[in-house]
Amino acid sequence: MYSRVEIEYANPQHLDDIYSVQFNLTPHKVSQTWANLLAVASKKHTVDDPGRFYGFHNKAEQIKQAISKINQTIDVINEFEPIIEKYVTSVDEQDTLNYLHHIFEIYHGLLNQQTHELWSRAPDIVHRALADLNILVHECEAVNRSTVNRPSHLTTWYAMPKILTLSDDDYKLFDDCSKFGTIYLLYTEIGKTLEDLSIDNDHYIHTSAFKPFRHFSADFIVRYYDDNPRQIEEKHANIKQYYDNNKDFFHKQGLPWGHPYLVPGSVPVATLETTSESLVEKLSTRQWVKSVTVK
């Protein structure tokens, strides 16, 4: 059994400038399953983007880079076949981001089930661009919503299968109030949860756009901040309002209010071993995940 996780954070300009952070696994079976997946991921798969850090500093530069990357990705796809009609000019254009996520859902397909005929014709560079479109939509959203007092980072592995699912009992482990230095399972579905739909006020809601948080993998997010209880109350009210506005849709899916698949948040799988007031400052210059190791 595993008990700890170590993340090596490096300066992207000087990869030998490393700061290691230790986490203890939380005592439940989901954490152990996640740790097993993490051990496989670190040996057999590559990290999508080791530099997915938000809310530390220099938001303006992050916005500029996020817009540039997603528009370059759109160009790659459209050069093969012009299926995307919108580009991103501002990260607060949520309807455009919702539209691009919808494009990803249609042409990429669900998890490892790529069935669209365009996918079957497309070369590998377009396959990767379609996969990246999802990541970059969420990067634009994360940069837009990030503030200097809500630093976090995400780690995902390219082409790692998403085949394990949460049990109904596992939803009792969900926590939607972020705690400093906690690692949470990352949503890996192709679609959005009720919480995501409510945050985005997504009008593209349909059976392929809404996907409960069921599958999980080694992917994770580390949050280096504590949520404000008032923000959580406002979030809950927003989620309920969105549900009520789309009640017929959710009832047709067999999801009455209170169903486990509608629970917001995620499962905390590890917590910081030692809290340091200077930790965020140390990570602000080391925003590159060099390695993730389970012990």
Average pLDDT, the chain: 90
Looking at residues 122-132, what average pLDDT do you find? 92
What structural domains does the chain harbor?
Answer: 1-56+151-295 (2.40.100.10), 58-147 (no CATH)
Least confident piece of the model among 25-34, 69-78, 122-131: 122-131
The pLDDT, as a whole number, for residue 114 is: 64
pLDDT tens-digit map of 153-194: 999 987 788 889 999 999 999 999 999 999 999 998 877 899
Higher pLDDT, 141 or 259: 259
Q: Give the number of C-alpha atoms closer than 13 A to the C-alpha of residue 83, restricted to the C-beta side.
A: 24
Residue 24 pLDDT class (50, 70, 90 cuts): very high
Per the CB < 8 A criterion, the answer to whether 102 and 95 are in contact is: no
Q: Which of 171, 19, 202 is nearest to 97 (CA)?
A: 202
pLDDT tens-digit map of 192-207: 899 988 987 777 666 6
pLDDT tens-digit map of 251-272: 999 999 999 999 999 999 999 9
pLDDT tens-digit map of 221-248: 999 999 989 989 999 999 999 999 999 9
